[in-house]
């Protein structure tokens, strides 16, 4: 017998928690399912901060323009305007809820990051902004008795009945067996898919399940070829690919090659403050030129006391691996970091599948275009998480979840292949669908994914391979270079590809126009 609630939220990052709060405030029962502990999400690992228009010398038009420039022509303008103009209100609300942003003399401290024209980035506890978001949102959600947080509940698939998403199948953490839960709507806030790649800054939970489950249920997936690789992840043997924040370069950090030479001015006039995709590609090219696996991020010209205060978590982590950021150049190389594409939604989180809503990195609202502007991701989760929760409630007022009839499914066999499958996929993605792409390697990747999908895979393995193939197919189709997608055989932008790529189960890849005016893009 399936469980029943009013709404199901998958994921407990900023988008999921904000959506759950919006629903509970309207008197709805909300079940929040998350595959690890409640605080484990991409949000918790966000160091850079949150971009928001609150400084006296800033305005919405400037923030919108910076976002559009970074997005390389693929941003939907209405989504960008919604993000920026509503973001200020929601960040102020977070402050009212007890979020502790860094201050000096009682005033908020604003910092600058690459591709921002103003100092508009708020931080919390130096480089632990995401963790502070999660802390304050969990505290706020905990004050709502209608929100039921269920950790260690891995979602396997979406349940569709008569063309509507009515629930999810998940692994019950207590029974250690599959269970179904139904509701008036499902809101997917499952985050990104950095774990598709061999090298990533993302936590282990970022496996892209929400995107692949939505695709297999019939929802549209958009712009999935656009993957942002963070330029500066700590690159040491036997150490995790720990992210060294964009803000380190924003504060004056210099990138040097093995010979101690500064190289970024030779690739772009903005040097270390160029957009992430340019910096990441420049590092790859410099490593090839010098025959090395790393370059170095040099912070030693900055005041040591300032660095320890500004980047406390980074300082302590590096110190644990024998590196003092105030004295030692830090070995770095790029790693997968953020997905601009995902479940195609409108500005209220509605997907093309009735009953399925989504918010945060799992989506493609068009707000990031081909390349996300630094520190817009936490803002996106906050704004569109709230909007998705409110829309799901408004759209389903007459629906009775207890009336849904769910067909019983036999228990899934244990996914014994998952470790081996993921290991193989991660290497294929890094080597053939990575920072530099070309037709031959993309084609070979797709062939390998097809062979894997033709075998007997468990549900989580199938989700993983399915999403990897979606990325490779879209990357092969887009015969140009734009933002986070770079083709060595098509190095220039091409006007005919100034469209969103769309993939839907059982159909060939299609396109949608970019929204250049106010008003949501059509689904």
**What is the enclosing helix (H) or strand (E) of 155?**
strand 155-161
- Rounded CA separation 38/48 (Å): 21
**Whether 378 contacts 43, CB under 8 Å:** yes
> Which residue in the block uniquely carries the two structure tokens 């644990």?
320
Surface-to-core class of residue 215, CB atoms within 10 Å of its CB (0-12 exposed, 13-18 middle, 19+ buried): buried
Catalytic residue among 276, 372, 387, 432: 276
Q: What is the DSSP string of 438-450?
A: -HHHHHHHHHHHH
- Rounded CA separation 127/52 (Å): 17
- Rounded CA separation 80/221 (Å): 19
Task: Pinpoint the alpha helices (H) of 377-434.
Answer: 377-395, 418-432
Contacts of 313 (CB under 8 A, 6+ apart): 47, 125, 126, 127, 128
- Rounded CA separation 442/487 (Å): 10
- Rounded CA separation 485/223 (Å): 10
Helix axes of 459-477 and 418-432: crossing angle, nearest 10 degrees: 10
Distances (CA, A) of 61 to 53, 58, 64, 67: 10, 9, 5, 10
- Rounded CA separation 456/61 (Å): 52
Structure tokens that stand for 81 in this block: 């305007």
The 3-class SS string of 326-393 reads CCCCEEEEEEEEEECCEEECCCCCECCCCCEEECHHHEECCCCCCCCCCCCHHHHHHHHHHHHHHHHH
**Whether 158 contacts 217, CB under 8 Å:** yes
**Minimal CA–CA distance to 413: which of 158, 171, 205?**
171
Annotation says 249 is catalytic: no
Torsion, CA 495, CA 484, CA 19, CA 210, rounded to 10: 100
**Minimal CA–CA distance to 11: which of 29, 34, 31?**
34
> Which residue in the block uniquely carries the two structure tokens 């709230």?
386
**What is the enclosing helix (H) or strand (E) of 180?**
strand 177-182
Distance from the Cα of residue 64 to its chain's centroid: 20
Distance from the Cα of residue 208 to its chain's centroid: 9
Query: How many separate helices (H) and strands (E) can be counted in the chain?
Result: 13, 23
Question: Which residues are identified as catalytic?
Answer: 276
């Amino acid at each position: 017998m399936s469980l029943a609630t009013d709404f199901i939220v998958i994921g407990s990052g900023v988008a999921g928690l904000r959506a759950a709060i919006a629903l509970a405030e309207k008197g709805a029962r909300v079940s929040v399912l998350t595959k690890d502990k409640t605080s484990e999400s991409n949000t918790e690992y966000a160091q850079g901060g949150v971009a928001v228009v609150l400084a006296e010398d800033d305005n919405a038009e400037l923030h919108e323009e910076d976002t559009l420039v970074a997005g390389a022509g693929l941003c939907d303008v209405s989504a960008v305007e919604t993000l920026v103009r509503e973001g200020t209100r929601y960040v102020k609300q977070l402050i009212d809820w007890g979020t502790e942003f860094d201050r000096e003399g009682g005033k908020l401290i604003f910092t600058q990051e690459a591709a921002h024209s103003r100092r508009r980035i708020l931080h919390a506890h130096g480089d632990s902004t995401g963790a502070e978001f999660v802390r304050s949102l969990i505290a706020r959600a905990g004050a709502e008795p209608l929100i039921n947080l269920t950790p260690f509940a891995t979602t396997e698939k979406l349940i569709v009945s008569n063309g509507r998403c009515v629930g999810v199948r998940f692994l019950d953490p207590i029974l250690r067996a599959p269970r179904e839960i139904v509701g008036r709507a499902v809101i997917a806030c499952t985050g990104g898919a950095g774990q598709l790649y061999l090298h990533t800054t993302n936590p282990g939970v970022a496996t892209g399940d929400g995107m692949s489950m939505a695709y297999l249920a019939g929802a549209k997936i958009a712009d999935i070829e656009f993957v942002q690789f963070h330029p500066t992840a700590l690159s040491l043997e036997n150490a995790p690919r720990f992210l060294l924040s964009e803000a380190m370069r924003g504060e004056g950090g210099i990138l040097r090659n093995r010979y101690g030479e500064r190289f970024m001015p030779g690739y772009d006039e903005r040097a270390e403050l160029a957009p992430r995709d340019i910096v990441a590609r420049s590092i790859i090219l410099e490593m090839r030129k010098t025959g090395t696996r790393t370059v170095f991020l040099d912070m030693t010209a900055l005041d040591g006391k300032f660095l320890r205060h500004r980047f406390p978590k980074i300082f302590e982590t590096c110190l644990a691996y024998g590196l003092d950021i105030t004295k030692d150049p830090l070995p770095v190389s790029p790693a997968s970091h953020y997905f601009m594409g995902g479940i195609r939604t409108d500005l209220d989180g509605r997907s093309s599948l009735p009953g399925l809503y989504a918010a945060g990195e799992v989506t493609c609202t068009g707000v990031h275009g081909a390349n996300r502007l630094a520190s817009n991701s936490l803002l996106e989760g906050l704004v569109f998480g709230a909007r998705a929760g409110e829309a799901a409630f408004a759209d389903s007022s007459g629906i009775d979840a207890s009336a849904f009839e769910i067909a019983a499914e036999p228990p899934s066999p244990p996914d014994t292949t998952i470790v081996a499958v993921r290991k193989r996929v991660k290497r294929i993605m890094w080597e053939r669908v990575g920072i530099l792409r070309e037709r031959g390697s993309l084609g070979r990747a797709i062939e390998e994914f097809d062979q894997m999908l033709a075998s007997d895979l468990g549900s989580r393995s199938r989700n993983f391979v399915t999403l990897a193939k979606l990325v490779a197919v879209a990357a092969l189709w887009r015969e140009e270079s734009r933002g986070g997608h770079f083709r060595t055989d098509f190095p220039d932008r091409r006007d005919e590809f100034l469209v969103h790529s769309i993939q839907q189960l059982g159909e060939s890849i299609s396109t949608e126009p970019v929204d250049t005016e106010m008003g949501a893009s059509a689904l």
